[in-house]
Amino acid sequence: MQDDLVRSSGRRETIAPAFFGCDRAVSTTLILVQILNGLQLGILLFLIAAGLTLVFGVMGFINLAHGVQYMVGAYFAVAFYGLTGNFLAAMVLALASALVLGLLLEFLVFRHLYDRDHLDQVLATFGIILFLNQATIVIWGPAPLIIPTPDFLSGSIPLTGGLLYPVYRLAIIGAGLAVAALLWFIVTRTRLGMLVRAGATNPDMVSALGVDVRRLFMLVFGFGAMLAGFAGVLSAPIFSVEPGMGDNLLIVAFVVIIVGGIGSIRGSFIAALLIGLVDTLGRSLATDILKLFIDASSANQIGPAIASMLIYVLMAAILFFRPTGLFSVGRAT
Amino acid sequence: MSEAAISGSAGGPSAPPASLVQAHLVSATIFLTLAAVPLMGFLGPEGFILPLVTRMMILALAAIALDFILGFGGLISFGHAAFIGIGAYVAGIMITEGQTDALAILPVVLAVSALFALVTGIICLRTSGVYFIMITLAFGQMAFFAASSLAAYGGDDGLTLWDSASLFGTGWLADDRGLFYVTLAVLIAGFALVQVLVGSRFGRVLRAAKENDRRTASLGFDVFRIRLAAYVIAGMVAGVAGFLLACQSEFVSPAAMAWQRSGELIFMVVLGGMGTRNGALIGAIAFVALEHFLSDLTHDWKLIFGPLLVVIVLFSRGGLAAALVRLTKGAVRV
């Protein structure tokens, strides 16, 4: 998936000769493009990680099937686009369906797991991944699907140095930032958000104070599922929609919430952007930076390997100094 | 929170002597049955049944290693398949480079798995609970991507082994039957090693730390070091399983260390009954048999397997080992 993200950005080849070349203006532009790509990956990661960290923070529930919600969102977008021919209509319908599916899974399986230990949660949600991945193959086939970029967001805008950047990718960044702002508002400024924060710190106390925790759980869970579905819908026009597309992104989302501190929305926002940037820039620059120190053919061998491990090394380094992440809420042990 | 919760689902390791004998009988029955598989013509053609049972035993070895830290140590490692992959890749790379002597390959397999376990263990074991699950998952993924980017050794596509390893100058590892018995011998050795370790002073402290790590630490034990040692041992045993897997499939690919494989290893342990004498062994055998049976039944076997996994987690406590005890009304201890 990460590879897909980079491949689809389509800039990796062009940046290699230019970066340490003589033309400074061009290389600055290319780095700007990579930064935008990194932000866009970070935003998608945030949409997935936000739900994951909320669900864990409030319910102490570790949900591996969250990545599948992302995949299902993308598939719903494809399906409803086929029916309506309108991207916005498809998005609304896909979000509603993602919400319904999330609530259905919560009702059928997840609510029976809240009191179980993490091991049971991991295994049961792993079973759901197997089922839903196979179900998408049965329903939509194993071949990747794609939907066109919506008309009103097609086209590109010029950056400095004469490079064009697709409007749709900028729209993803904008939409993600808008969601982040909305989340910030809900979590810090509303009564519901207050309950969520309180639940993340001390769920027993919240329950003892007379809050219907079950309903709070369902709300949070449905919201998280919808956010992941939203990320899926957004990525449907730019990445190929295929079975298992959420699996590897889920692991990266885990890295995000570990680095950010489990349960912290602010932490996952910052960590998502950090991971998105490090991953994207690492993949485009690692080989060139290595070439400064070792010969070109070894650099070509080692560069991609180092680039693909970079975010895990970063995570290890952060956890070594802060075992509970950057912005720990103080519950997840 | 998770510490207490985890210990709640453990099988009782404190078994009285009489049941100990019975548990040994169960293990002996399993190993004798396995040893007799090449003689059981009715199971199917040998060229088909031997590789299948060999794979069962290889995964059982890895599952036993995992159960050592998961069932007895309470460490939910979600990256254990990485060690299988590391063992397989070390073997694959050495064989490709012309070193086919198993006695030269094995020490390197052990050293590399131990080193990876040591470095990642030092970082992972600083965390606990859900952080530990996720960070082991992330390190497993890191190994996966590292293997995928080994362009000289097949990259994403994997590495086909055109030569096979030799043991004491013989072709045992290249022959279905030879590999079968070598694998069985290694499995029994691995099983015995874990039994001895679990019963030793070291194993007792490891189990105590699972029940209550603070209390164990306050008794003067260095919980971190004990867990690290267990983590390294489990990694090395799984590395050997990886070496055998490379010999068996004559092919090495990053898919062997995908995180789904780690999930399956955990499932084997839980299916069999974690923290019991024979649970991981039974679980791995049952898992491969189930997988094989279902995939014979339908191409979309995961549609059945996934929900089955959910149902097993929701409704079975203690896995097959506990079920066996209940079924025989306690006459058989596992």
Per-residue pLDDT at A209: 87
Please check whether residue B213 lies inside any domain of the structure.
yes
B259 near A CB under 8 A: yes
Per-residue pLDDT at A333: 39
Mutate to test the interface with A, among B77, B131, B316 (most CBs of A within 10 A): B131
Please check whether residue B333 lies inside any domain of the structure.
no
Specify the pairing of strand B251-252 against strand A164-166.
unpaired
Give B188 to chain A, closest Cα distance, Å. Answer: 27
Give B38 to chain A, closest Cα distance, Å. Answer: 33
**A124 and B310: CB-CB below 8 Å?**
yes
- Residue A157 forms beta bridges with which residues? A165
B297 near A CB under 8 A: no
Q: For B113-116, which contacts have Cβ atoms below 8 Å and span 24 or more sequence positions?
A: B113/B83, B113/B86, B113/B87, B113/B235, B113/B236, B113/B238, B113/B239, B113/B240, B113/B242, B114/B232, B114/B235, B114/B236, B114/B239, B116/B82, B116/B83, B116/B86, B116/B143, B116/B235
Decide: residue B125, CB within 10 A, 0-12 exposed, 13-18 middle, 19+ buried: buried
Please check whether residue B248 lies inside any domain of the structure.
yes
Nearest to A312 among B130, B139, B303 (CB): B139
Q: 4-63 in B: which are within 8 Å (CB) of A?
A: 5-6, 8-9
Per-residue pLDDT at B7: 39
Per-residue pLDDT at A9: 36
For residue B141, which residues of chain A lie inside 8 Å, CB to CB?
A: 248, 251, 312
Per-residue pLDDT at B185: 92
Please check whether residue B24 lies inside any domain of the structure.
yes
Residue for token pair 């494809």? A78
Please check whether residue B334 lies inside any domain of the structure.
no
DSSP string, B162-200: SS--BBTTBSGGGSHHHHHHHHHHHHHHHHHHHHHHHHS
> If pLDDT is split at 50, 70 and 90, which confidence band does B88 have?
very high
User: pLDDT tens for residues B219-262?
Assistant: 888 899 999 999 999 999 999 999 999 988 888 999 888 888 99
Domain count, chain B: 1
Per-residue pLDDT at B283: 92
Nearest to B131 among A123, A129, A332 (CB): A332
- What is the Cα–Cα distance from B121 to A93, expressed in whole angstroms? 46
Is residue B230 within 8 Å of B198, Cβ to Cβ?
no
Please check whether residue B26 lies inside any domain of the structure.
yes
Mutate to test the interface with A, among B72, B149, B300 (most CBs of A within 10 A): B149
For residue A131, which residues of chain B lie inside 8 Å, CB to CB?
A: 302-303, 305-307, 310
pLDDT above 80 (res B173): no
Per-residue pLDDT at A329: 63
Beta-strand ranges (E) seen in B232-329 are 251-252
Radius of gyration of chain B (CA): 19
Give A200 to chain B, closest Cα distance, Å. Answer: 14
For residue B125, which residues of chain A lie inside 8 Å, CB to CB?
A: none
Q: Domain locations in chain A?
A: 2-321
Identify the H or E element spanning A156. Answer: strand A156-158
Give A87 to chain B, closest Cα distance, Å. Answer: 31
Per-residue pLDDT at B16: 52
Question: Residue type at B77?
Answer: S
> If pLDDT is split at 50, 70 and 90, which confidence band does B61 have?
very high
Token digits of residue B297: 């039944």
Q: Against a cut of 0.90, is the pTM above it?
A: no
- What is the Cα–Cα distance from B117 to B134, expressed in whole angstroms? 16
Task: Establish how many alpha carbons lie within 13 A of residue A128's alpha carbon, considering only the half-sphere containing its beta carbon.
Answer: 27
- Residue B159 forms beta bridges with which residues? B252
Identify the H or E element spanning A71. Answer: helix A66-84
- ipTM of this complex prediction, to 2 decimal places: 0.83
Share of chain B above pLDDT 70, in %: 91
CA quadruple B201, B189, B266, B85: dihedral positive or negative? positive
Per-residue pLDDT at A18: 36
Q: 122-151 in B: which are within 8 Å (CB) of A?
A: 123, 126-131, 133-135, 137-139, 141-142, 145-146, 148-151
pLDDT above 70 (res B214): yes
Q: Please give the average per-residue pLDDT across B58-77, as a whole number.
A: 93
- What is the Cα–Cα distance from B40 to B20, expressed in whole angstroms? 29
Alpha carbon distances (Å) from A158 to A29, A40, A165, A319, B46: 11, 17, 6, 40, 66
Instruction: Classify residue B158 by its DSSP letter.
Output: -
Give B191 to chain A, closest Cα distance, Å. Answer: 23
- What is the Cα–Cα distance from B117 to B110, expressed in whole angstroms? 10
Q: For B150-157, which contacts have Cβ atoms below 8 Å and span 24 or more sequence positions?
A: B150/A305, B150/B89, B151/A301, B151/A304, B152/A301, B153/B89, B153/B92, B153/B93, B153/B96, B153/B252, B154/B252, B154/B253, B156/B254, B157/B253
For residue A109, which residues of chain B lie inside 8 Å, CB to CB?
A: 310, 314
Is residue A293 within 8 Å of A300, Cβ to Cβ?
no
What CATH number should be reported for the domain holding residue B115?
1.10.3470
> If pLDDT is split at 50, 70 and 90, which confidence band does B265 have?
very high
CA quadruple B157, B162, B164, B169: dihedral positive or negative? negative
Mutate to test the interface with A, among B76, B264, B302, B312 (most CBs of A within 10 A): B302
Nearest residue in A to B148, CA atom: A305
Cβ contacts below 8 Å, chain A against chain B, sum to 151
Nearest to A320 among B123, B260, B300 (CB): B123
Q: Please give the average per-residue pLDDT across B38-60, as a whole number.
A: 82
Is residue B88 within 8 Å of B244, Cβ to Cβ?
no
B212 near A CB under 8 A: no
For residue A129, which residues of chain B lie inside 8 Å, CB to CB?
A: 306
Per-residue pLDDT at B328: 78
For residue B259, which residues of chain A lie inside 8 Å, CB to CB?
A: 247, 251
Please check whether residue B6 lies inside any domain of the structure.
yes
B180-199: burial string, b at 16+ Cβ within 10 Å, e else: bbbbbebbbebbebbbebbe
Average pLDDT per consecutive 10 residues, chain A (333 residues; last block may be shorter): 38 35 59 89 92 83 90 93 89 93 91 87 91 92 87 79 82 91 89 83 82 84 91 89 87 90 86 93 83 79 81 85 76 43
Per-residue pLDDT at B91: 92
For residue B135, which residues of chain A lie inside 8 Å, CB to CB?
A: 258, 315-316, 319
Please check whether residue B82 lies inside any domain of the structure.
yes
> If pLDDT is split at 50, 70 and 90, which confidence band does B191 have?
very high
Nearest to B310 among A109, A133, A320 (CB): A109
Residue ranges making up the domain that contains B244? 2-327
B308 near A CB under 8 A: yes
For residue A113, which residues of chain B lie inside 8 Å, CB to CB?
A: 313-314
Please state which architecture CATH assigns to domain A2-321: Orthogonal Bundle (1.10)
**B133 and A122: CB-CB below 8 Å?**
yes
